[in-house]
Every structure is written in C-alpha cells, then in structure tokens.
Amino acid sequence: MPLSHVDSPAPRRYRPGRRAGCTGLAAARARLAAERVAAILALAALSAAANAASPLYPTYRAVLGTSDLVITALHTTYAVVAVVALLVLGPVADTLGRRPVLVASALTAAMGTACLTASSSLAWLFAGRALLGVALGTATGAGVAVLVERAAPGRAPRASLLATMAVLAGTGAGPLVTGVLADLGSSPLLVAYLPTLALLAVTVAAACVIDDAGAMSHGAPARWRPRVPEIPATVRRRFTVAAASGFAAWSVAGVFLALLPAVAAEVTGRIDHALSGGIVAALLLCSALALPLGYRLAAGVAQAFGLVTLSLGLVVLAASQLAVVPGETLRLGLLGIAAVLAGIGHGLAYWGAAADVDACAVRNRAGITSALYVLCYLGAGLPAIGVGALSLILPLSTAIVVFVLLLCFLAIPLIPVPALATGQRGHRS
C-alpha cells in the first residue's frame, strides 16, 4: 500500500541512547541496521498477510457457493478497514512508541490469518480480512517512522522508497507463496497460510529489537489524535491530478488481486492457485522494481510514463478476454504480459503521484498525504466491487472489458496532464 516519509507518525531523528554509546560505534550501527531490517520485515510481512488470500478466492467461492460480488466485497473489506485504521489508529505510534504498535499489529495480523482458515464460515472470512486491515493500517506509519528516523540526514526519501518497495514486494510474495503451497497440500486453505503465520511470528520477535528510547527521548510522547484528510485550495488542482493517477494505479492492482484468479480459472477451466499467485505476484513485483526508476524521474514524468504503461497493460488485459483469441496458452500469455505492463505502470504512476503530493504539501502534510492514501486504498477496493457487481449480469470476461474501457477513459486523457502541471526533478540523492 501507499507510503511516504511524510505519512509516518511525526518522525524524529534517532539518537542512540546510553546502551549504544557504551558499546561503541560499531554496536550502535549494528543495532540501527537490525532495527531497519525489523521495520522492513514488518512492512513486508503484514503486506504479504493482507494479500495472501488472493489466489484462494476461487476456492473460497466454490466452498461457500457464493458470487464474484461477495468475493470482491471480501477483498475490499481489508482496504476499507485499513483506511479507518490508518487515520484513527496510525497516530497511536506517537504515543505508545513504534515497537508496541508493530508487535500488536503483527499479532492482530496473525489472528486475522487464522480466521481465514475457517473456510466454512463467511463471517470468519470477513472478520479475518477486517483484522488484517486493522493490522496493516495501524502499522504502516510506525514502520515507515522507524526507517526515516534511522536514515542518514537527507536520506528520508530513500527510506520512504525502501519502505514502499518492501510493501509491494510483500504484497506480491504473499499470493505467490500461498498459491504454490495451496496446490501442493491436500488442505489448501490451511497449509497455504502456515508460512504466513510463521513469518508473522518472526516479525513479532524482530520488532522487539526496536528501541523507542533513542527516537522518543527528545520530548514527551505526542498526544493521540486521528488524522484528518484536508486539501488546501492552493494545491487542490495539483492534488486532484496526482490523486487520479494514484487511484487509477491502485484500481488496476485491486482488480488483479480480487479477480485475476477467477479470470485465470475461466481461461484454464480449473482452479490453479500457483498460476494465479504467479500472475498477481508479477504485477506487484514489477511495480516494486519500477520504483527506483520513478524515484529518478520528475514526478509528473513518472506519472505520465506510468499511465501510458498502465493503459497498455489494460489493453492487453482486455485482449486476453476476447473470445476471438484462440487457445489457453495464448490467453494466459496475454494475462502475464498485462500483469508485467500494469505492474510497471502502477509503480511509476503511484510513485509519481506520491512524490508530487509530497512536493506540493508545504503545509498540512499529514492532512494532504492522508487524503491521497485514502483515495489509493479505496482505489484498491471499490472498483473491484464494481466489476464483481457487473459480473452478476454479465460474464466476468465482459465485466473486465467494461472496467478496462472505463479506466482507460480516465487514464488516457490524464497522461499529458501531470508532466505539464509539475516540473520538479526527481530525487537524485
């Protein structure tokens, strides 16, 4: 999910305490490195847990005898709850500290993952998705804050880049691992989640090494208060352009996560968890790999290139759903190409949007960036529900094509706008 160094709860410059000073500079550096690794692991593990169910959605649908609309609602529950958690619980890390928030979030994610193994109960599945949304929404700011506070002076943008790559890599790795394991075990809805539970246990242990004393010793803990999304009139036009790019990018990712497994099952005539997980992972991992390029480009240029590539991916996705395309192999190949193109476009468009909002948010950064992230989270969920609803009256393949046409109608006219509206350079530190 979307991240930025300004999204973290009131980052402070970290200064090692007495324990680090007594053990020498080498020990202090080793501790800082361990804390960075713990934060990266937490962000990646929680993202993996939140999206691990993706390739299993067709199996849930078959077991429960439900529709694509219910499955997309199940997927979207996590995104909607994460928005509330980000705004209401995210700032708790300023009051309680980063370590307890990350530990509690990993434990909450473990409870949510355990709920997903109850395949016979739709209520337990929704409860599990909600708990995962609470976990990731609450932990996001704390994880980014650890990386930013321990970054060298002037390297906060790089820390933000690393955090976003960790989230996207985890989002892609989760479905890949569960998909492979689900095809290997006789109880796919149980076996597939065991590595996720083990990773969350490791995350709890790793988060315990984070020392809040060095970052929070400079003043009293901040008073907790929810974030309030707010967009000043002076930046509203620029924000709207960036938000549209971010919403479009996450809409594509959300539809892939929620419905790509069902699409692949229609193409092959069978449920193939590993195949579905692999295609979804390709999108998210390509997005993560595209971030360093976006980091080097001007924000508007990154958005423009991202929207172009995203549109190309959508066109290929629509082509894979046409009845005139012969053969299972060709259609699956088109799905894979669509995932790669959409992933690259997603990474560039989202990073450009976040960097653009970061640059224009001279005042009230927390309110402006929170507004962007609310829209990105909703983009990851609501359009997927729309496609699921369409699938009640249209074939799923036709509903996907309608989604592609609508999103291209939004994205293509927007392509030249970010580059014309912004002119700042990319990060080159």
Listed in sequence order, the residues at least 6 apart from 343 whose beta carbon sits closer than 8 Å to its beta carbon are 282, 283, 284, 285, 286, 287, 290, 313
pLDDT at residue 353, rounded to an integer: 86
Residue 420, class by beta-carbon neighbours within 10 Å (0-12 exposed, 13-18 middle, 19+ buried)?
exposed
> Would the pLDDT of 40 be above 90?
yes
Mean pLDDT across the chain? 83
pLDDT at residue 153, rounded to an integer: 72
Give me the amino acid identity at 134: V
The string of pLDDT tens digits covering residues 231-253 is 777 778 888 888 888 999 999 99
Q: Could you give the CA distance from residue 100 to residue 427 in angstroms, rounded to a whole number? A: 32
Q: Which residue has the higher pLDDT, 206 or 419?
A: 206
Closest to 212 measured CA to CA, from 421, 57, 10, 75: 10
pLDDT at residue 43, rounded to an integer: 93
**DSSP assignment string, 42-103:** HHHHHHHHHHTTGGGHHHHHHHHT--HHHHHHHHHHHHHHHHHHHHHTTTHHHHH-HHHHHH
Helix, strand, coil percent values for the chain (each to nearest 5) = 80, 0, 20
Whether the CB-CB separation of 257 and 315 falls below 8 Å is answered with: no
Q: How far is CA 311 from the centre of its chain?
A: 20
pLDDT band at 23 (very low <50, low <70, confident <90, very high): low
pLDDT band at 46 (very low <50, low <70, confident <90, very high): very high
Q: Could you give the CA distance from residue 145 to residue 95 in angstroms, rounded to a whole number? A: 13
Q: Could you give the CA distance from residue 159 to residue 169 in angstroms, rounded to a whole number? A: 15
Whole-prediction pTM = 0.86
261-283: average pLDDT: 91
Domain locations along the chain: 25-421
- Tokens standing for residue 372: 């962007």
Tokens 């060298």, located at residue:
152
Half-sphere exposure of residue 253, counting CA atoms within 13 Å on the CB side?
Answer: 34
- What is the number of H-type helices and E-type strands within the chain? 18, 0
Q: Could you give the CA distance from residue 271 to residue 252 in angstroms, rounded to a whole number? A: 22
> Would the pLDDT of 428 be above 50?
no
Give me the amino acid identity at 355: A
Domain 25-421, CATH number (from 3.40.50.2020, 3.30.70.20, 1.20.1250.20, 1.10.3720.10): 1.20.1250.20
Question: b or e along 63-101 (b: 16 or more beta carbons within 10 Å of the residue's beta carbon)?
Answer: ebeeebbbbbbbbbbbbbbbbbbbbbbbbbbbbebbbbb
- Tokens standing for residue 338: 């669509």
Highest mean pLDDT of the ranges 95-104, 106-115, 154-163, 415-424: 106-115
Whether the CB-CB separation of 2 and 250 falls below 8 Å is answered with: yes
Tokens 């149980």, located at residue:
190
pLDDT at residue 200, rounded to an integer: 96
Closest to 380 measured CA to CA, from 48, 3, 77, 125: 77
pLDDT at residue 429, rounded to an integer: 45
Residue 118, class by beta-carbon neighbours within 10 Å (0-12 exposed, 13-18 middle, 19+ buried)?
middle
Percent of the chain with pLDDT strictly greater than 90: 39
pLDDT at residue 146, rounded to an integer: 85
The string of pLDDT tens digits covering residues 88-127 is 887 777 778 888 999 999 999 999 999 998 767 889 999 9
The string of pLDDT tens digits covering residues 209-232 is 888 765 554 555 566 677 767 777
Q: Could you give the CA distance from residue 49 to residue 371 in angstroms, rounded to a whole number? A: 25
pLDDT at residue 289, rounded to an integer: 94
pLDDT at residue 88, rounded to an integer: 84
- Tokens standing for residue 303: 């958005």
Question: Can you point out the beta strands (E) in 93-250?
Answer: none
Whether the CB-CB separation of 258 and 72 falls below 8 Å is answered with: yes
pLDDT at residue 212, rounded to an integer: 73
Closest to 255 measured CA to CA, from 112, 355, 402: 402
> Would the pLDDT of 178 be above 70?
yes
Percent of the chain with pLDDT strictly greater than 70: 86
Give me the amino acid identity at 248: A
62-89: average pLDDT: 89
Q: Could you give the CA distance from residue 348 to residue 198 in angstroms, rounded to a whole number? A: 32
Q: Could you give the CA distance from residue 424 to residue 300 in angstroms, rounded to a whole number? A: 8
Q: How far is CA 92 from the centre of its chain?
A: 21
Q: Could you give the CA distance from residue 402 to residue 382 in angstroms, rounded to a whole number? A: 15
The string of pLDDT tens digits covering residues 339-394 is 999 999 999 999 888 888 877 755 666 667 778 888 888 988 889 999 999 999 99
Closest to 204 measured CA to CA, from 423, 42, 357: 42
pLDDT band at 5 (very low <50, low <70, confident <90, very high): very low
CB neighbours of residue 233 within 10 Å: 6
pLDDT at residue 12, rounded to an integer: 53
